[in-house]
């Protein structure tokens, strides 16, 4: 408690000193209650960080260089914190996010009780001056922003760690230096997915975006004896176990409450809530039905066993598989658009079959659109509605070029997702990491892409 200042009498000899010591102790105790708890050192996490940063050299990412010349992103790992709690089961969800979505990550952890690997990203804008100069190192202001971000990540991790009902969170904080606000739109989504996948320490895994809640039934299933082993057997058949995705029918704060409820109900209850004029509906049904319609939602509500569906162009579900057959996310896809669609097309190319999980699902947590999504949507509208010819450095134009390149590679049978050599070099430096998969595909008929 703070000392009373209402009536101060002359203290006895040494009283002021004792009083000051007591006050200092009180302040330190209060500070310790609000400061993030220091994570216990983890030698493997430290080794991984050192290996990831081994070839890092300071540079600024430039829009035209990245879009026109396919210059790679240049990420630096600032911090890595691993959970000290043992994994509840041997299945890991991995994800990526920007720093401002840490609250969303917290909510995701609340919907899942197992291991979760997250790669968090901070864009750092540090322009050159009018003479093309600006230093070859981080500015003091940039260093301050990165330090603040690291402290924020540590606080989030401490909150998750102290709640035994939440996920066992392993979290990385990356940053990239950009030369302009426009360049900052080149969010390295697939780099981050590949890094988050790198720190997964279970064979069974799933990439699930941070704005998706998992149904309570998924964690319950993974805790059941024999479940993990059954999934691992399916990997020999190259099965992708698809998790149907839903969204609330209302946006904003009400939609977020509805999403939480949808993740906690039973499948029978979800069936009663499902419909355009009810609480839950197929994810993106209104804006992009091709993304999830192949899942066959009417069939799902009647199903009690997994069922197989056929891959179709633009299908983009979330799925469960094994590390040794999980393809890489193509790092050429930055910003927004096509980044997950290409991965699912690659599953088809690598002879995966798609089987729908009959009893677990995902639900989208509504949020506002990112700036880069707005840019891509506007450019797409100009092309599709007004037949505009976009400049060569337009992001939507770049996405269509990349999609066409990948499609031709799959039809010819020589497709390989682009990876970052710096990322791949880590596997040669860290002996305990599983070796990267070497997958061979089969030519995809042209009819699949029409």
CATH number of 43-422, picked from 1.10.3470, 3.90.550, 2.40.50, 1.10.30: 3.90.550
Residue 386: per-residue pLDDT: 87
Annotate the chain with three-state secondary structure: CCCCCCCCCCCCCCHHHHHHHHHHHHHHHHHHHHCCCCCCCCHHHHHHHHHHCCCCCCCCECHHHHHHHCCCCCCEEEEEECCCCCCCCCEEEEEEEEHHHHHHHHHHHHCCCCEEEEEEEEEEECCCCCCCCCCCCCCHHHHHHHHHHHHHHHHHHHHHHCCCCCCEEEEEEEEEEECCCCHHHCCCHHHHHHHHHHCCCCCEEEECCCCEEECHHHHHHHHCCCHHHHHHHHHCCCEEEEECEEEECCCHHHHHHHHHHHHHCCHHHHHHHECCCCCEEECCCCCCHHHCHHHCHHHHHHCCCCEEECCCCCCCCEEEEEHHHCCCCCCCCCCCCCHHHHHHHHHHHCCCEEEECCCCCEEECCCCCCHHHHHHHHHHHHHHHHCCCCCCCCHHHHHHHHHHHHHHHHHHCCCCCCCCHHHHHHHHHCCCCCCCCCCCCCCCCHHHHC
Per-residue pLDDT of the chain (450 residues; tens, 9 = 90+): 233 333 333 333 344 344 433 433 433 333 334 444 456 789 999 999 999 999 999 999 999 999 999 999 999 999 999 999 999 999 999 999 999 999 999 999 999 999 999 999 999 999 987 666 667 899 999 999 999 999 999 999 999 999 999 999 999 999 999 999 999 999 999 999 999 999 999 999 999 999 999 999 999 999 999 999 999 999 999 999 999 999 999 999 999 999 999 999 999 999 999 998 999 999 999 999 999 999 999 999 999 999 999 999 999 999 999 999 999 999 999 999 899 999 999 999 999 999 999 999 999 999 988 999 999 999 889 988 889 899 999 999 999 999 999 999 999 999 999 999 999 999 999 999 999 888 999 999 999 998
């Amino acid at each position: 408690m703070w000392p009373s200042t209402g009536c101060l009498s002359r203290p006895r000899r040494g009283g002021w000193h004792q009083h000051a010591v007591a006050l200092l102790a009180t302040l330190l105790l209060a500070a310790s209650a609000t400061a993030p708890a220091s994570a216990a050192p983890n030698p493997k996490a430290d080794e991984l960080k050192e290996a990831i940063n081994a070839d890092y050299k300071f540079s600024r990412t430039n829009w035209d260089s990245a879009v026109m010349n396919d210059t790679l992103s240049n990420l630096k790992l600032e911090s890595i914190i691993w959970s000290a709690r043992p994994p509840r089961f041997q299945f890991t969800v991995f994800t990526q996010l920007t720093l401002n979505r840490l609250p969303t990550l917290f909510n995701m952890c609340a919907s899942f009780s197992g291991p979760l690997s997250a790669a968090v990203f901070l864009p750092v804008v540090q322009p050159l001056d009018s003479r093309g100069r600006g230093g070859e190192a981080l500015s003091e202001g940039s260093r301050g922003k990165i330090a603040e971000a690291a402290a924020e990540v540590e606080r989030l991790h401490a909150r998750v760690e102290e709640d035994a009902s939440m996920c066992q969170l392993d979290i990385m904080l990356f940053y990239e230096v950009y030369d302009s606000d426009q360049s900052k739109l080149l969010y390295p989504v697939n780099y981050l997915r590949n890094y988050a996948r790198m720190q997964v320490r279970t064979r069974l895994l799933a990439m699930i975006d941070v704005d998706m809640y998992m149904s309570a039934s998924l964690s319950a299933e993974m805790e059941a004896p024999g479940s993990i082993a059954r999934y691992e057997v399916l990997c020999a058949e190259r099965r992708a176990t698809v998790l149907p995705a839903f969204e609330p029918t209302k946006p904003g704060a009400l939609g977020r409450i509805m999403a939480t409820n949808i993740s906690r109900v039973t499948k029978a209850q979800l069936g009663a809530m499902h419909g355009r004029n009810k609480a839950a509906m197929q994810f993106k049904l209104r804006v992009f039905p091709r993304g999830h319609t192949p899942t066959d939602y009417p069939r799902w509500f009647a199903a009690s066993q997994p069922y197989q569906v056929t891959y179709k162009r633009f299908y983009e579900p979330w799925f469960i598989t094994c590390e040794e057959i999980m393809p890489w996310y193509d790092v050429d896809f930055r910003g927004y658009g096509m980044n997950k669609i290409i991965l699912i097309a690659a599953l088809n190319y690598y002879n995966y079959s798609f089987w729908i999980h009959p009893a677990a699902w995902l639900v989208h947590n509504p949020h506002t659109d990112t700036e880069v999504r707005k840019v891509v949507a506007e450019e797409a509208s100009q092309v599709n509605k007004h037949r505009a010819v976009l400049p060569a450095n337009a992001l939507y134009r770049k996405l269509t070029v990349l999609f066409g390149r990948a499609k031709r590679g799959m039809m010819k049978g020589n497709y390989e997702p682009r990876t970052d050599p710096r990322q791949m070099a880590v596997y040669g430096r860290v002996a305990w990491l599983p070796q990267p998969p070497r997958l061979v595909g089969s030519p995809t008929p042209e009819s699949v892409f029409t």
